Amino acid sequence: MLRSAIIGTGAYLPEKVLTNDDLAEIVDTSDEWIRTRTGIRQRHIAADGELTSDLAVHAARNALADAGLGPADIDMILVATTTPDRTFPATAATVQEKLGITHGGPAFDVQAVCSGFLYGLATADAFIRSGQVRTVLLIGAETFSRILDWQDRGTCVLFGDGAGAVIMRAEEGRGDLSDRGVLATRLHADGRYADLLYVDGGPSAGESCGKVRMKGREVFRHAVVKLAEVTREVLDDAGARPEDIALMVPHQANIRILEATAKKLGLPPEKVHVTVDRHGNTSAASVPLALDDARRSGRLHPGDLVLLEAMGGGFTWGASLVRL
């Protein structure tokens, strides 16, 4: 059977770093207040004129180099983002143009907020396993700072900008847990919780992009339960056990959520990769940024079994089990 193997990863973070002390100068907060509640020390902020597509292209080029491929080898581009350059065209089409890809393969965006990369991974996997494409460039990219209310200390301290990318390619597998590639994925959504985490604008609702609004305690409570459930589902689907996992690479939203989810799965802290302290919550870019960081820091190696998970506004949530 066909499997979708991850053959390259890449990342990009804007040059500007905004520390907790920097934030304390513009909003009523402190480094201690932010660190003890979230685990975040700093985040990166896109420069004026630096677009989501620019971040995405940097990450894509790094992933292509890691895979030993060129733009002409890509059959399809997916960009998971909540902060597109424009309402349309899709940011993926802009990335396609900036990379110089002209053969006309599909390029489109995926919008599931912080779960967007997992939704994109499942979409790319389905295209590859159906035989429609062979090689996919999947990117999670955000300029989330553009939709923050910088006077709301409950949200502006949490988020940052960045991009991560993976190259996925079709490979033959045997159909069991020993295969390389995406082994199982589960996705969920429940729109009843939309008012707990949302943006108060949009082209249809208010002809503006709006700002992020969140009820943090409720989001935390639901996140821990739903992430633990979906990770168990995906392990069961693949016939794997928690102890088989080399590393969990979760959405980097809040250190407390990461720790609580790992505890419910029985995973020790050393099996959870953490970048939230350096990057903050980069929404759809979070998981691929952390995955690339785990590989390049030597925490992941070929053949390792990796558990990816994320939850975002909607609510949307999902998990995927991948062997590198």
Is 251 annotated as catalytic?
yes
pLDDT for 207 equals 80
Is 62 annotated as catalytic?
no
pTM > 0.85: yes
Distance CA(249)–CA(211), nearest Å, equals 28
Please tell me which residue in 58, 114, 156, 273 is annotated as part of the active site: 114
Please tell me which residue in 20, 62, 254, 281 is annotated as part of the active site: 281
97-118 pLDDT, tens digit each: 999 999 889 999 999 999 999 9
Please tell me which residue in 58, 251, 273, 279 is annotated as part of the active site: 251
List of domains in the chain: 2-172 (3.40.47.10), 181-323 (3.40.47.10)
Query: Could you tell me if 78 and 106 are in contact, meaning their C-beta atoms sit under 8 angstroms apart?
Result: no
118-162 pLDDT, tens digit each: 999 999 999 999 999 999 999 999 999 999 999 999 999 999 999
Is 114 annotated as catalytic?
yes
- 277-315 as b/e, with b when 16 or more CB fall inside 10 Å? ebbbbbbbbbbbbbbbbbbeeebbeeeebbbbbbbbbbb
Which residues of the chain register pLDDT less than 50?
none
